[in-house]
Chain A
C-alpha cells in the first residue's frame, strides 16, 4: 500500500471506534491497543471486530453494553482465528452474490492467552489459509483475566500466580515464545511487532499496513497491564519506552518475508531498567538472584543480535 505521511493531528481527529464505558481497569494497555488499531481503519470502511475471551471481551461487551461502534463477535476463548475466518468467508461469498455492497475489514483481538496458547491452533489455521483479516494480539504477558497466570508470552523470571517467586523458585522458567517469528513462518504478507510510542506512529502505521495489505496479517502489541505487572497505572508510556529501549520488546515488521527493524535505540539501556519498576520482577533484585538478571540480559542481547542479523 502507498506510503502516506503520518499526520498525527489528522489521525487523532478521526472518529473514535472504541466507545468509553467499557469495564477495563484504569490504565489498561489492551484498550489503548484496540483504540489505535481501529483508528487505522478508513472512515468509510465498515469492520467486523472479533475477540477471544479475556479481559477485553468480558469488559467491552458486558450485556447489554457494547463498547464497539462496529459490529462485533465473541465466540469462545480459543477460536478468534476460526470465528473471524468464518465471517470473512461469508463476506467473500455474499459480496460475490451481490448481497452485500459495503467494504468490510476484519480485525480480531486476543490476549496472549487466547493467542499464544489456547488459541494458537485456530490462529495458525486462519493465517495459513490466508483469510483477508488481521489478528491483533494485545500481549500483556500473562492470563490476566483469570488473575495473572503464566502464559507462553510471559517473560522469564516473571512472578505470576502459577509461577510465583518463592523459596525455591525464581518465577517463570521458560523464556517467552517468539510468536511474531512463528507467524512470519506462515508466509503471510504482513507481520508487525509494536507497542505504544509517544505519537503512536509505529503502531498506527503497522495497523494500517496490516488492515490494508490483502491477505492475512498479524500484529503483536505489547500492552502493559498495571495490575499484573505491578506498576503505577500512570507510568504506562514510560514502561513501554523502557521495554523498547532495553530491547526487551523490539519493534519490527516482516513484509513479504523481509525482516525490517523499525527502531534501534541510540542508547540501549540495560534490561534491569525495564525490570526494576515492576513488582513482578522485584524478587530478581534480591542478592541471591543477581545472577538471573545477568542471564536475562544475555538472552536479550542474543535475541537482539539475531534480530539485527535477520533484518540486514
Chain B
C-alpha cells in the first residue's frame, strides 16, 4: 500500500506475533516515516530567487533534508529538517535565512 507507514504495521501497541523476527527490518529507509521536523525551534527559509544553485548547502545537512535533482536543489524537506542552521551559515549568497519557530 503506497501510503501505509511502517508504524501502521509495527508500533508500540503491536502484539508479539506482529514483531518481526529478531527485530529485523526487511525493507530500506523506514525512518522516512518518522517526522523529525517536529523537533525544530528554528526553521530555514529558502529564497529560490537569491539561490545560485551552488549546492554548497546540500552536503552539510545532517538530515538529508535538502533534495537535489539533476544538479539543482529544491525546497527544504520540512518533515525532517531539525533547524540546525548549518546550511544558512554556509550559503554564500544569503539565500537561506533562519526564522524562529517551526
A residues touching B (Cβ–Cβ < 8 Å)?
A: 8-10, 12-13, 16, 18-32, 35-36, 39, 60-61, 63-70, 196, 198-200, 226, 232-238
CB distance from A207 to the nearest CB of B (A): 12
User: Is B23 in the interface zone, CB < 8 Å from A?
Assistant: yes
- Contacting residues, chain B, for A27 (C-beta < 8 A): 62, 82, 84-86
Complex interface residues of chain B between 38 and 82 (CB less than 8 A to chain A) = 39-40, 55-56, 58-65, 68-71, 77, 79-80, 82
Task: Provide the residues of chain B in CB contact with A237, threshold 8 Å.
Answer: 60, 86, 89-90
Q: A64 and B30: CB pair below 8 A?
A: yes
B23, B40, B59, B69 interface centre (most CB from chain A within 10 Å) = B59
Top 10 A-B residue pairs of the complex, sorted by shortest distance between their CB atoms: A234-B85, A21-B31, A20-B80, A27-B84, A26-B82, A19-B29, A26-B84, A67-B31, A31-B62, A65-B31
* Complex Cα gap A18–B85 (Å): 19
> What is the CA–CA distance of A211 and B20 in the complex, to the nearest angstrom?
32
In whole angstroms, what is the CA distance A233 to B44 when docked?
14
- In angstroms, Cα B29 to Cα A22, docked, is 10
Known: A66-B25, A234-B85, A237-B90. A13 touches B71 (CB 8 A): yes
Residues of chain B at interface, number, CB under 8 A: 45
Pairs A–B under 8 Å by Cβ, sample size 9: A9-B71, A12-B55, A13-B70, A24-B62, A26-B82, A28-B62, A35-B64, A196-B59, A196-B60
B77 x A20 contact (CB < 8 A): yes
Binding site for A on B (CB under 8 A): 6-7, 9-11, 20, 23, 25, 28-36, 39-40, 55-56, 58-65, 68-71, 77, 79-80, 82-86, 88-90, 98
User: With A26-B39, A36-B59 in contact, is A233–B85 under 8 Å at CB?
Assistant: yes
The answer on a CB contact under 8 Å between B55 and A8 is yes
* Apart from A20-B63, A32-B59, A64-B30: 11 A-B pairs, beta carbons within 8 A: A12-B68, A19-B28, A21-B33, A26-B62, A27-B62, A61-B25, A64-B7, A64-B25, A65-B33, A67-B29, A235-B89
Contact of B28 among A68, A198, A200 (CB under 8 A): A68
Docked CA distance A67–B36 (Å): 12
